[in-house]
């Protein structure tokens, strides 16, 4: 079968790769109808992770069940399904308490809990930017979708970024009526802003400097804050009579950069601490890493110096980490079916698998309105 493979910094290629197949009794094989490119893939693409060459990328997957192992009881061939990016065992302490993103069993990497498809350091699972995908523990991991093609481009956000954005808002402790600032207007930040609106925020600010992303923020009723027009914190303080916001969401991660494009991993954390009110909350869903091969000293990435003193003095709280997709995906699916949520508003491109390398390049440079790229491996 064909799959998109990592070949080194800024190099990906569509190649012939081993067929996805049933390995364990509880597995299923999915025929991918849609697989998205994610900002998380860019950390790998830019050579900022330990991902090995030859890995098939892609963790935002949906499709139709092609084959099931003899141990899969409930999933059936022909089911239309969304595949959460987390690979969970379904029975460990974290999976059974709603934290499938920290499954203690599925990632053999020493010291790491939590597994994912096609991702650096998250286990041996190939990704779904390919024709087919192997899903372990299919009964636990797969979410059923209505048959047919309806809502395809909405449902495809259920594997990662809609639940992830929602999780960022939950981690911040948002209550109806709160003002919320989201740093990062990429797909994840936009989903966080959209989730905050759905959860009853009174005002949502989205900080970025990419014009078409700020425009998308405006399209859902949020206020875009242009980084390149001046300090983001001051701009939000101005708009809120000096009060700032009740809650903040970090949706950029360790590659945050200033107006001149220079990287400062502490920048958004500092901004959030300053713009969120005393006793307010912050949800960090942007990715931070313990080691970064892109630095002279890779382990330096583990020590981000941010305004912890101010954070403590303001009595704020913070939640972090990979999102437990299963905790939210069923409810978010039903909001889509009911017509209450349309997360496809961020889709910018729908392309064939073969065109993915070019789309990686353009998405990485955030050019030409490349916001969310959906791959259609079977046309
Ligand atoms: P993206 O790269 O498309 O978007 C990031 C955006 O941040 C860009 O638009 C960029 O212009 C903006 N930005 C850069 N510096 C900034 C700053 N100082 N202030 C405000 N905005 C700034 O990526 P994405 O797909 O939206 O993903 C965002 C982050 O979320 C990534 O780190 C990704 O790895 C992470 N992520 C986490 C999870 C999770 O489960 N926690 C899941 C998916 C993605
Ligand atoms: Zn993703």
- Percent of all residues in the chain with a pLDDT value above 90, rounded to a whole number: 97
pLDDT of 300: 92
Q: Report how far residue 137's alpha carbon sits from residue 103's, in angstroms, rounded to the nearest whole number.
A: 12
pLDDT of 259: 80
Domain co-membership, 263 together with 282? yes
pLDDT of 186: 97
pLDDT of 351: 98
Q: List C-alpha distances in Å: 126 to 54, 191, 302, 310.
A: 10, 26, 26, 42
Task: Say whether pLDDT at 297 is over 90.
Answer: yes
Task: Say whether pLDDT at 156 is over 90.
Answer: yes
Residue 188's domain is classified under what CATH number? 3.40.50.720
Rounded to the nearest integer, the mean pLDDT of the chain is 97
pLDDT of 261: 86
Q: Which helix (H) or strand (E) holds 11?
A: strand 11-16
Task: Say whether pLDDT at 276 is over 90.
Answer: yes
Domain co-membership, 170 together with 36? no
Q: Which helix (H) or strand (E) holds 175?
A: none
Residue nearest to atom 9 of ligand 1 (CA): 186
Query: Do 16 and 354 touch, CB atoms closer than 8 A?
Result: no
pLDDT band, very low/low/confident/very high, at 307 (cuts 50, 70, 90) = very high
Domain co-membership, 7 together with 156? yes
Q: Report how far residue 115's alpha carbon sits from residue 89's, in angstroms, rounded to the nearest whole number.
A: 10
Q: Which ligand is nearest the CA of 188, by number?
A: 1
Q: How many whole angstroms from 28 Cα to the centroid of ligand 2?
A: 21
Q: What residues have CB less than 8 Å from 364, skipping those under 6 apart?
A: 10, 42, 45, 46
Task: Say whether pLDDT at 319 is over 90.
Answer: yes
Domain co-membership, 118 together with 26? yes
Domain co-membership, 225 together with 354? no
Task: Say whether pLDDT at 267 is over 90.
Answer: yes
Residues with CB under 6 A from ligand 1: 38-40, 42-43, 160-161, 164, 183-189, 207-210, 213, 227, 251-253, 256-257, 267-268, 285-287, 322-323, 366
Identify which of 87, 167, 169, 188 to mutate to test ligand 1's pocket (most ligand atoms within 8 A of the CB).
188
Residue nearest to atom 26 of ligand 1 (CA): 186
Q: How many whole angstroms from 345 Cα to the centroid of ligand 1?
A: 17
pLDDT average, residue stretch 283-307: 94
Identify which of 36, 38, 39 to mutate to test ligand 1's pocket (most ligand atoms within 8 A of the CB).
39
Q: How many distinct structural domains can be found in the chain? A: 2
Domain co-membership, 114 together with 187? no
Identify which of 85, 184, 267 to mutate to test ligand 1's pocket (most ligand atoms within 8 A of the CB).
184
pLDDT by residue (tens digit) across 222-258?
999 999 999 999 999 999 999 999 999 999 999 999 9
What is the span of the domain harbouring residue 39?
2-160+324-375
Q: Which helix (H) or strand (E) holds 276?
A: strand 276-284
| pTM of the predicted structure, to 2 decimals | 0.98
Q: How many whole angstroms from 163 Cα to the centroid of ligand 2?
A: 10
Q: What residues have CB less than 8 Å from 334, skipping those under 6 apart?
A: none
Domain co-membership, 138 together with 182? no
pLDDT of 368: 82
pLDDT of 68: 98
pLDDT by residue (tens digit) across 99-135?
999 999 999 999 999 999 999 999 999 999 999 999 9
Task: Say whether pLDDT at 363 is over 90.
Answer: yes
Domain co-membership, 14 together with 141? yes
Q: How many whole angstroms from 96 Cα to the centroid of ligand 2?
A: 23
Question: What is the residue-wise DSSP string for 331-377?
Answer: HHHHHHHTTS--GGGGEEEEE-GGGHHHHHHHHHTT-TT--EEEE-T
pLDDT by residue (tens digit) across 22-50?
999 999 999 999 999 999 999 999 999 98
Domain co-membership, 283 together with 231? yes
Q: How many whole angstroms from 310 Cα to the centroid of ligand 2?
A: 31
CB atoms within 5 A of ion ligand 2 belong to 38, 40, 60, 160
Domain co-membership, 31 together with 82? yes
């Amino acid at each position: 079968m064909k799959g998109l493979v990592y070949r080194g910094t800024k190099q990906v290629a569509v190649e012939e790769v081993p067929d996805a197949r049933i390995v364990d009794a509880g597995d299923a094989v999915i025929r991918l109808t849609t697989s998205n490119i994610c900002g998380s893939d860019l950390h790998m693409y830019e050579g900022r992770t330990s991902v090995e060459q030859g890995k098939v990328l892609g963790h935002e997957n949906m499709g139709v069940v092609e084959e099931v192992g003899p141990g899969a009881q409930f999933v059936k061939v022909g089911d239309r399904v969304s595949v959460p990016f987390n690979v969970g065992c379904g029975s460990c302490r974290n999976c059974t308490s709603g934290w499938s993103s920290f499954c203690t069993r599925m990632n053999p990497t020493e010291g790491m809990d939590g597994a994912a498809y096609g991702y650096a350091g998250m286990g041996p699972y190939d990704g779904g930017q390919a024709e087919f995908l192997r899903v372990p523990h299919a009964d636990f991991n797969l979410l059923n979708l209505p048959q047919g093609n309806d809502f395809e481009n909405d449902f495809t956000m259920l594997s990662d970024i809609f639940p992830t954005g929602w999780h960022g808002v939950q981690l911040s402790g948002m209550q109806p009526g709160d003002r919320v600032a989201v740093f990062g207007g990429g797909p994840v930040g936009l989903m966080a802003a959209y989730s905050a609106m759905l959860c009853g925020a009174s005002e949502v600010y989205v900080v970025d400097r990419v014009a078409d992303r700020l425009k998308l923020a405006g399209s859902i009723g949020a206020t875009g804050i242009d980084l390149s027009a001046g300090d983001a914190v001051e701009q939000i303080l101005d708009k809120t009579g000096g009060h700032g916001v009740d809650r903040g969401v970090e949706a950029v991660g360790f590659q945050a950069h200033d107006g001149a494009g220079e990287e400062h991993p502490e920048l958004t954390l500092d901004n959030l601490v300053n713009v969120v009110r005393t006793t307010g909350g912050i949800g960090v869903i942007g990715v931070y890493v313990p080691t970064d091969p892109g630095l002279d000293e890779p382990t330096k990435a583990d020590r981000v110096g941010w305004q912890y003193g101010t954070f403590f003095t303001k009595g704020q709280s913070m939640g972090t980490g990979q999102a437990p997709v299963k905790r939210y995906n069923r409810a978010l699916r039903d909001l889509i079916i009911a017509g209450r949520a349309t997360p496809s508003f961020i889709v910018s491109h729908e392309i064939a698998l073969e065109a993915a390398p070019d789309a990686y390049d353009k998405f990485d440079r955030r050019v030409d309105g490349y916001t969310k790229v959906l791959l259609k491996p079977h046309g």
